[in-house]
């Protein structure tokens, strides 16, 4: 089938590569408001051609929105207005409640499948697109009862082909759990980078001393604000809630260190070690 990918960056580009590789798509049309990205994506053979959204929509069975969540909010209603019968729209955004509220009453709501692949890297743009980004990862599908059966089946089939496991949630659950497991990690990492950049006046020292541990904790701080500010904005209440808990935990550790209560500090670290069991 012909697939259109709107936004040929890390996620859209990686999806394009996988869909072609798995034989799901025989042709990929790229749409991007950034002409340079479109040119690069073509050069890298991630897409077969660049086109306008209007033209691409008339020729594709599946249109994937791989753009920042604020851009999905802005464009999805008008895309649904124009979608022809039998065609499917799917997004891959990191927040779901606002988007699904926005199109809840749309007469063509059924053509839309809300998806979120739990996969990514800290890089962005078409050059960041890689093979096998999604293999063995989780795809969250949200509020599937509001999608048409054939649309859902198409997306489920693709998720299967991508070698991903599927998890079903409603939009509210999705935004809550992703705040806990994904969004707070990014906040932490951004704040850690700011901390080290502020305290460590001698940047050469950071380079010299940075071990794998530091690099892994601060890695997400390389992520693009174009992607992440809209996510934090959309999921503001949940992010504030988990951020409060995180600040509280840090303050608790600070207090124990200040009071030199190393016994309780030890127990707290043991408690945090429980993450071993969950993450294997």
**Binding of residue 44 to a second copy (CB under 8 A):** no
For residues 40 and 37, give the distance between their C-alpha atoms in angstroms, rounded to a whole number: 5
Q: How far is residue 99's CA from residue 174's CA, in Å, rounded to a whole number?
A: 12
How many residues lie near a second copy (CB under 8 A)? 91
For residue 52, give the DSSP letter: -
Nearest CA to 15 among 79, 71, 64? 64
Tell me which residue of 189, 19, 193 sits closest to 92, measured CA to CA: 19
Residue 38 or residue 164: which is nearer to a second copy going by CB? 164
- Assess 35 for contact with a second copy (CB under 8 A): no
Q: Name the burial class of residue 242, with classes exposed (0-12), middle (13-18) and buried (19+) by CB atoms within 10 angstroms of its CB.
A: middle
Do 104 and 77 form a contact (C-beta atoms < 8 A)?
Answer: no
Given a contact cutoff of 8 angstroms between Cβ atoms, the answer to whether 122 and 148 are in contact is: no
Q: Which is nearer to a second copy, 87 or 183 (CB)?
A: 183
| CA nearest neighbour of 89 among 57, 119, 134 | 57
243 touches a second copy (CB under 8 A)? yes
Q: Does 130 interact with a second copy (rule: CB under 8 A)? A: no
Q: Does 128 bind a second copy (CB under 8 A)?
A: no
Task: Report the alpha-carbon distance of residue 253 to residue 272 in Å, rounded.
Answer: 12
Select 78 or 135, whichever has its Cβ closest to a second copy.
Answer: 135
Can you name the residues that pair with 63 across neighbouring β-strands?
A: 4, 89
Choice from 101, 135, 163, 203 touching a second copy (CB under 8 A)? 203
Q: Minimum distance between the CB of residue 178 and a second copy, rounded to whole angstroms?
A: 6
Six-digit token string for 240: 């504030």
The 135-174 site mask, x for binding a second copy (CB under 8 A), equals --xx-x------------------------x-x-------
**Window 181-200: residues binding a second copy (CB under 8 A):** 181-182, 184-200
Point out which span in 22-30, 42-50, 58-66, 251-259 binds a second copy (CB under 8 A): 251-259
Cβ proximity to a second copy: between 55 and 259 the closer is 259
Task: List the interface residues with a second copy, window 66-125 (CB under 8 A).
Answer: 118-122
DSSP 8-state secondary structure symbol assigned to residue 165: E
Q: Is 45 in the site for a second copy (CB under 8 A)?
A: no
Is residue 208 a contact residue for a second copy (CB under 8 A)? yes
CA 81 – CA 88 distance, rounded (Å)? 13
Q: How far is the CB of 132 from a second copy (least distance, A)?
A: 12
Question: Is residue 180 a contact residue for a second copy (CB under 8 A)?
Answer: yes
Among 23, 105, 107, 213, binds a second copy (CB under 8 A): 213
Residue 131 touching a second copy (CB under 8 A): no
Strand partners, 6: 31, 65
């Amino acid at each position: 089938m012909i697939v259109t990918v709107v936004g040929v960056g890390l996620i859209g580009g990686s999806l394009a590569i996988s869909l072609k590789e798995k034989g799901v798509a025989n042709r990929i049309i790229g749409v991007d408001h950034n002409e340079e990205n479109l040119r690069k994506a073509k050069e890298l053979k991630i897409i077969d051609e660049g086109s306008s959204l209007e033209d691409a929509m008339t020729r594709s069975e599946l249109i994937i929105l791989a753009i920042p969540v604020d851009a999905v909010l802005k464009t999805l209603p008008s895309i649904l207005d124009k979608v022809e019968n039998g065609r499917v729209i799917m997004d891959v955004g990191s927040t779901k409640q606002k988007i699904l509220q926005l199109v809840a009453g749309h007469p063509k709501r059924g053509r839309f499948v809300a998806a979120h692949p739990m996969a990514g890297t800290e890089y962005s743009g078409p050059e960041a697109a890689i093979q096998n980004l999604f293999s063995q990862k989780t795809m969250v599908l949200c509020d599937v009862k509001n999608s048409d059966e054939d649309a859902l089946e198409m997306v489920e089939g693709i998720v299967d082909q991508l070698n991903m496991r599927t998890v079903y949630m409603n939009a509210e659950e999705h935004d809550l759990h992703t705040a806990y497991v994904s969004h707070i990690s990014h906040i932490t990492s951004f704040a850690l980078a700011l901390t080290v950049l502020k305290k460590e006046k001698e940047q050469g020292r950071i380079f010299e001393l940075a071990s794998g541990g530091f690099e892994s904790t601060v890695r997400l701080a390389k992520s693009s604000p174009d992607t992440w500010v809209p996510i934090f904005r959309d999921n503001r209440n949940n992010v504030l809630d988990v951020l409060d808990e995180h600040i509280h935990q840090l303050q608790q550790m600070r207090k124990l260190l200040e009071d030199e209560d190393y016994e309780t500090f030890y127990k707290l670290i043991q408690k945090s070690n429980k993450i071993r069991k969950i993450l294997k």
